[in-house]
Structure 1
Amino acid sequence: MKTTIQNVINRLIDPVGRLTETVDSLYYGNPQAEVSGIVTAFMPTQRVLERALELNANLVIAHEGPFFQHKPPLDSTYGDDPVFAAKKKFILDSGLSIFRFHDYWHRYPQDGIMLGLIEALAWDTYVQKHEPAYSVMEIPATSVIDIANYLKKTLDIPCVRVGGEMDTLCSRVGLLAGYRGGGQLVIPLMEQENLDLVVYGEGPEWETPEYVRDAVWQGRSKALIVLGHAESEEPGMKLLADLLQRQFPEIPVHFVREKPVFQWI
């Protein structure tokens, strides 16, 4: 019996149940087409889409959308922009199906993106608390610089951004994947959970980083490490590829990692 794209989508959303409001959708493709292969990725960049074709995969499951914005509609924002138009034409000509898997993955019984990050860091045994938007770790007391170097090495990323004193010893760590670094969430969290360090993907620079700056000036032992949005969420999409390969052993499943969007000079 053939496995259709709709079969895969149904399996993905089953642990949550159908959401009435979500950005997740099959943006392109035929839901009744048979799946020849699956690629998971953080972002469906044109390079990722081209790689999917090379791998004979006709279903791309991406955490973010293909056209540089969070919410649909996709076609009305950029009009005749040539980059948008060329990418859309490529997708239509290729016959690829693109399913965005954002809200459902975050709403699994344990957030799949966060679980992937924790597993990639081998911090499973340090988890003290899981909440919908963050997790709290209790790690052996370690300096900020050593934690930063560990994150770089373990996640295989070229650099991280650090706020606070490099020699500060940290044991209570708040972990927030993706765009969850805003002050309204993180600043109260640092006091409520008695955190020494917050590690997140991305957030406004004038909020949490400036709070940490003032905290350090006041003599408080607080620190911040910013991984980058993609760098914090890609492990969750690799975890998804592993899950799908177990669920559909007859279908080749690949995780395609993108190169960092920024270059460091």
Structure 2
Amino acid sequence: MNITIQHIIDHLTAKVELPKTTVDQLITGSPNQTVTGVFVTFMPTQHVIEHAIQRGANLIIAHEPPFYNHHSHTDWLADDPVYENKRKLIENGGVAIYRCHDAIHRFQPDGITEGLVQALGWSSSIAYRKPEADLLSFPEGMTVQLIAEHIKRSLGIEYVRVAGDPKMVCRRVAVLVGFRGNGNLTIPLLHQEELDLIIAGEGFEWETPEYIRDAVQQGKQKALLMIGHAESEASGMKLLSERLATTFPELPVHFIGEQPVYQVL
């Protein structure tokens, strides 16, 4: 039986209820298209698309959109040369791009958070899960510095950003992926769950980091590790690729990552 893009979309959304305003959609391509190969990625960059074409994969499942805004609007990009080149590459290569964002965050447990915690080797340290975060317990305690080094080593990244004392010992930690590092999520957790450390992807710099600064200046033991949006979510997409390969063994399914978008000079 030929597997179409719609078969894969149906599988991804079978056990979740997507919101009415979902951003999950087939951005390019046709649902009736027969799938020749699947690339799963965090971001469908120029490099990822070129590599998919070279490998004969005509479906890219991405967590984020190809065109630089959350809702995949393109009217504001008319005549932009970077957009036009990328759009033509996708069209000429016959590549379909499906965005899997809301569905994977509604898996039980959240598929992106699960992937990150697994990649860090901390699944056995989960105290309990909330929709927005996994709460971890380290009874013996680890310093912020040691946790940061472990994250860099486990994810193969060169840097993280730290607010607070790197020598502080942490026993209660929350992990929040993607753009969940904003104050409306992190600050109540810090207080209500008596957390020592927040590990997050990214967030507004004037919210959680400034709260941590004030807390430390008041003599409280609090810290924050920002590891990057892509760096916090790519592992979840990698886990998804492994599960899709098991579900569709007749298809070549590959995860492809990217280099960090920022360099530290």
Q: Quick one: distance in 2 between partners of 1:21 and 1:211?
A: 31
2-side partners of 1:210 and 1:138: how far apart? Answer: 25
Report what 2:130 is aligned to: 131
Once residues 17 and 129 of structure 1 are traced to their aligned partners in structure 2, the CA distance between those partners, rounded to angstroms, is: 23
Residues 176-202 of structure 1: CA deviation (Å, up to 9, x unaligned): 000011111111110100000000000
Cross-structure match for 2:167: 167
Residue number in structure 2 paired with 1:116: 115
State the Cα deviation string for residues 84-137 of structure 1 (Å, max 9, x = none): 111111111111000000000101121100010011011111111211111110
Counting aligned pairs with the same residue, the percent is 47
- TM-score under structure 1 normalisation? 0.97
Question: What CA deviation, in whole Å up to 9, does each residue of 1:156-190 have, x standing for no partner?
Answer: 11100011111100010011000011111111110
Aligned-partner Cα distance in 2 for 1:94–1:151 = 36
Partner of 1:172, secondary structure, is: strand
Kindly indicate whether residue 145 of structure 2 is the aligned counterpart of residue 145 of structure 1. yes
Aligned to 2:228: 228
User: Structure 1: which 4+ aligned runs deviate by more than 2 Å?
Assistant: 17-21
Structure 2 match to 1:186: 186
Paired residues of 1:120 and 1:154 also in contact (CA < 8 A): yes
Contact 2:59–2:98, Cα closer than 8 Å, also in 1: yes
SS across alignment from 2:48: helix
Alpha-carbon distance in 2 for matches of 1:20, 1:145: 42
Partner residue, 1:88:
87
Q: Residues 59 and 172 of structure 1: is their aligned pair in 2 closer, same or farther, counting only changes over 3 Å?
A: same
1:202 counterpart = 2:214: no
Q: What does residue 262 of structure 2 align with?
A: 262
Is there any run of 5+ residues in structure 2 with no aligned partner, and where? none
Unaligned runs of 5+ in 1: none
SS in 1 for 2:75: coil
Does the 8 Å CA contact 1:15/1:109 hold for their aligned counterparts? no
CA distance in 1, matches of 2:118, 2:24: 25
The CA distance in 2 between the partners of 1:108 and 1:235, in whole Å, is: 15
| Alpha-carbon distance between aligned partners in 2 of 1:215 and 1:17, rounded to the nearest angstrom | 39
Supply the distance in 1 between the matched residues of 2:95 and 2:146 (Cα, whole angstroms): 43
| Amino acid in the other structure paired with 1:61 | I
Contact 1:48-1:256 at 8 Å conserved across structures: yes
Q: Is the 8 A contact 2:29 2:94 kept in 1?
A: yes
Asked whether the 8 Å contact 1:174–1:195 carries over to 2, the reply is yes
Question: Aligned Cα RMSD in Å?
Answer: 1.0
Deviations 1:31-90 (A, max 9, x none): 111111100000000110111112211100000000010014x22122211111111111
Aligned equivalents of 2:189, 2:30: Cα separation in 1: 44
CA distance in 1, matches of 2:187, 2:228: 19
The two structures have a TM-score, normalised by structure 2, of 0.97
Contact residue 202 and residue 229 of structure 1 kept, 8 A: yes
Q: Give the stretch that moved more between structures: 123-132 or 190-199.
A: 123-132
How far is the alpha carbon of 1:17 from its aligned partner?
A: 4.0
